[in-house]
A and B are shown apart, each in its own frame.
Chain A
Amino acid sequence: MQITVLVLILALLTVIGFQMGRTRAAASVGGRVVELHSVPSYHGFYVALWAGLPALFLFVLWTASEGWLIMQMVLASLPARLTSGDPQALNLLKADILNIAHGISTGRESDPDVVAAAQHYGTLRDIGDWSLLAVGSCLAVVGLAYGHRRIGPDLRARNRVERVVSVALIVCSLVAILTTVGIVLSLLFEALRFFAVVSPLEFLFGTHWSPQMAMRADQVGSSGSFGAIPLFAGTLLITVIAMVVAVPIGLMSAIYMSEYANPAVRTWLKPILEILAGIPTVVYGFFAALTMAPFVRVIGQDLGLDVSSESALSAGIVMGVMIIPFVSSLSDDVINAVPQSLRDGSYGLGATKSETIRQVVVPAALPGIVAAIMLAVSRAIGETMIVTMAAGLTANLTANPLEAVTTVTTQIATLLVGDQEFDSPKTLSAFGLGLVLFLVTLSLNMVALRVVQKYREKYD
């Protein structure tokens, strides 16, 4: 309640601050706005920032620390017999107090001291909320007054406001860096523990993947080898099949849509193809396992081939289908970006449409197309659900698309939700694989960027 009120008050004061700042700025030069350093609305923003920001910081600080602070105060007031336990007991005590304070019945008679503490907690929280309301509003008013007082013809309000805004913008773009750092750290930490048990060389160059560790100390008969080459090979095989499906179909669709189809057809076709990209991968997984795999198997048997029921081929084909719109959409964009003048130039020399496309348009769009394919490749490498469902888990070092293979992502998903002991290298290897996966997609993307930068033709 108090928090809602505070938010409302802050919003109101910000708006008022804006108006006051604007008015005062205009008034300070007697309405001759040109004499101001910045236009009046910047003065308004300046005051509004002073009114809103400090109070907002207080608000964030308080909401983040409130629970902890009050809990410390409540615990301090409790008799030692309750609080002297180990940290675990203390955790339970806190939970108990919170539950009672929130009116959650635990179905049990609680210690009267705990009940009293819970009431105490409730009271303190109320006090806290009210004082937050009071302090927050005061801070906003003080800020408003301060900002308001500083307004004058010489105040560089625009520069101040723009600096605040640009700091905010910079912070936003740093989120990307933080995310990358977070990913690397969260993978690296666990991966290092894995590499402490299994040597990175064995992991990267070993050709036998059988992540079995003993379930019991006295159990033997589980090999436990962590050579990830079969996984990389499996991933590569499926990715290649997917690309063999997706690149020609996607590229030709893009070409047809942007060069041949009339606009009405194109308006319909493009979104229809994009639906393929929007279908959740779980759905593709089922399609691959239940429709495509038996189909491929039957066809294979008719041809006298020995097809595994979880062939890399079926997973790859379905993944390719998923990636078609990815290739076609991106290629379509780059093909459209090729200027009409190039096509005209080619037609003007008497080239047919397909000659123009093959010899002028596609080469001109090639860097973009290559980048699109690279992105599609990293998408295929990182795809999880389809391969988990359709490609099986047999770590098979083979180039035969009719056999079952497994991929890096499949192993990550199954290793992490497995029934293993959680500190075993088997579980940790998932992070090792994750790290490799991250690095591979990273370098692929780097290459794609380089390609684009190096070969991009400048058309204006």
Chain B
Amino acid sequence: MISRKHVFTAAAAVALSVAVTGGANAQSRDQIRAVGSSTVFPFTTAVAEAFGKGGKFKTPVVESTGTGGGLKLFCAGVGPSHPDIANASRRIKKSEVEQCAANGVTQITELKIGFDGIALAYSKKAPEVALTTAILWKALAKEVPVDGKLVANPYKKWSDIDPKLPNAEIEVLGPPPTSGTRDTFNELAMLEGCKKTPEVKAVVADEKAREKVCMTIREDGGYVEAGENDNLIVQKLNANPAAFGVFGYSYIEQNRDKLQSAKMDGVDLTAPNVASGKYELSRPLYVYVKNAHAGVIPGIREFIAEFTSERAVGDEGYLADKGLIPEPKDARDAARTSAVNLTPLQL
């Protein structure tokens, strides 16, 4: 009896271990898988749907994992159990490319699909406000120079900074540190605004230290880390007209009747202004493709062709309807050529 029990146990153990290795190895896939940034998600899904409607291939599955999580999955290896495409709201980093290479993902094609403008939006019910990055920095920095000394941010109301601004409490609902939007915001709004505030240079001489001062956001309630559900922020802004929200261009586009976006350094948030670089709070969006999968997973080349096609990313393309700000025409054409040829990324 006992020996038989042992035999059963052994058999079960073998079955289990074989199931592990076998399960990991023997997979086939006829569907493209994309992972990554929640910012790029609406665009990739729109392309995926149009691609699937074409009827030749199954609709790709697009997962929203965040840029970092997406690149982690993307770089984990080659084969059907790993995704083919990673969406990123920032450029892939050298360390990530190296990690990829270490796992055998050596050939990656980079598509720069366009821009996302970052809006500082507020309720339509409130009067119009024109901001500058310098004002924004003063409103949101943790420490600001006052009378030649660095002190904890004393500004409670916008009017404390500039009497012309509304006499309302500073409350900015923005992305948490986990978000790519926050990093972009730090770099484009805070750092720039800080640079435009000459007093800082006078107070903090060391460049590294100054940069740190520039990019540290206050934590006393003026800046509220509001999560990544932008629809919620829209509704919260509507409920609280004095508050500002930091979020992507597409949400402004969809909620023009409820929200307005503040002019930044005198420039309106419009697609042409972003594409031409006049509106500075914007970031490029990327899609990365695993070249090794082209030809193994059905439809990758065709998907890239769709993604870079004029009807998708063109000025009148359907991604523009979804809130993507297209790149200038010549940059698009160049990107299309390199993408269709699967030209590997060189950092």
Contacts and interface: CB of A to CB of B under 8 A. Distances in A.
Direct contact of A and B (CB under 8 A): yes
Given A68-B25, A88-B292, A221-B215, A211 B177 contact: yes
B299 interface: yes
Contact of B292 (A92, A286, A389, A420): A92
Nearest to B19: A64
A176 interface: no
Contacts, number: 227
A25 interface: no
A419 B90 contact: yes
B177 A221 contact: no
A309 B78 contact: no
Contacts of A394: 219, 221, 223-225
Nearest to B16: A64
A95 B24 CA distance: 12
B323 interface: no
Contacts of B1: 163
Given A64-B19, A64-B22, A393-B225, A92 B79 contact: yes
B123 interface: no
Nearest to A100: B28
Q: How large is the interface on B (under 10, 10 to 19, 20 to 34, 35 or more residues)?
A: 35 or more
Interface stretch (A127-135, A347-355, A409-417, A446-454): A409-417
Interface stretch (B46-54, B206-214, B329-337, B338-346): B206-214
A457 B333 CA distance: 80
Contact of A415 (B64, B90, B96, B178): B178
A210 B176 CA distance: 10
B202 interface: no
Interface string B163-182: 00000000101001111100
A221 B89 CA distance: 20
Kindly name the residue among A91, A107, A221 whose own CB sees the greatest number of chain B CB atoms within 10 A.
A221
A91 B79 contact: yes
B126 interface: no
Given A60-B15, A309-B173, A418-B69, A87 B104 contact: yes
Nearest to B31: A104
B232 A389 contact: yes
Given A420-B178, A421-B68, A222 B25 contact: no
A107 B64 CA distance: 27
A223 B216 contact: yes
B129 interface: no
Contacts of A101: 28
Contact of B211 (A167, A221, A403): A221
Kindly name the residue among B19, B56, B88 whose own CB sees the greatest number of chain A CB atoms within 10 A.
B19
Contact of A212 (B14, B16, B177): B177
B68 A419 contact: yes
A423 B99 CA distance: 10
Given A91-B77, A289-B235, A310 B28 contact: no
A414 B298 contact: no
B239 to A, nearest CB: 4
Nearest to B79: A91
A410 B240 CA distance: 23
A89 B239 CA distance: 55
A289 B236 contact: yes
Interface in B53-72: 56-57, 64-69, 71-72
A217 B301 CA distance: 34
B197 interface: no
Contacts of B56: 107
Nearest to B25: A68
A99 B224 contact: no
Contacts of A408: none
B183 interface: yes
Contacts of A392: 224-227
Interface stretch (A191-199, A258-266, A290-298): A290-298
Contacts of A65: 15, 18-19, 22
A421 B88 CA distance: 12
Contacts of A293: 236, 239
Q: How large is the interface on A (under 10, 10 to 19, 20 to 34, 35 or more residues)?
A: 35 or more
A424 B95 CA distance: 11
A414 B69 contact: no
Given A57-B11, A67-B25, A102-B28, A95 B79 contact: yes
B296 interface: yes
B3 interface: no
A294 B240 CA distance: 8
A416 B29 CA distance: 26
B169 to A, nearest CB: 8
A331 interface: no
Contacts of A219: 211
Kindly name the residue among A216, A418, A423 whose own CB sees the greatest number of chain B CB atoms within 10 A.
A418
Nearest to B77: A88
A404 B221 CA distance: 8
B78 A92 contact: yes
A102 B31 CA distance: 13
Nearest to B301: A107
Contacts of B95: 217, 421
A73 interface: no
Contact of B66 (A64, A417, A423): A417
A94 interface: yes
B301 to A, nearest CB: 7
B194 to A, nearest CB: 9
Interface in A407-441: 410, 414-424, 426-427
Given A88-B104, A108-B295, A94 B25 contact: yes
B53 to A, nearest CB: 17
A94 B21 contact: no
A157 interface: no
A335 interface: no
B33 to A, nearest CB: 12
Interface in B232-273: 232, 235-236, 239-240, 243
A51 B235 CA distance: 65
Contacts of A1: none
10 contacts: A61-B15, A71-B26, A94-B26, A220-B211, A221-B213, A293-B236, A309-B173, A393-B178, A416-B69, A422-B71
Given A107-B298, A417-B65, 14 more contacts: A61-B18, A67-B25, A91-B79, A95-B29, A95-B80, A107-B302, A222-B215, A289-B232, A290-B232, A293-B236, A388-B227, A392-B226, A394-B221, A421-B96
Interface of B: 1, 5, 8, 11-12, 14-16, 18-19, 21-23, 25-30, 37-38, 56-57, 64-69, 71-72, 77-80, 88-90, 93, 95-96, 99, 103-105, 171, 173, 176-180, 183, 186, 191, 208, 211-216, 219, 221, 223-229, 232, 235-236, 239-240, 243, 292-293, 295-299, 301-302
Listed from nearest, the 8 A-B pairs whose CB atoms lie closest are: A67-B26, A221-B215, A418-B178, A88-B104, A91-B79, A419-B180, A98-B28, A393-B225
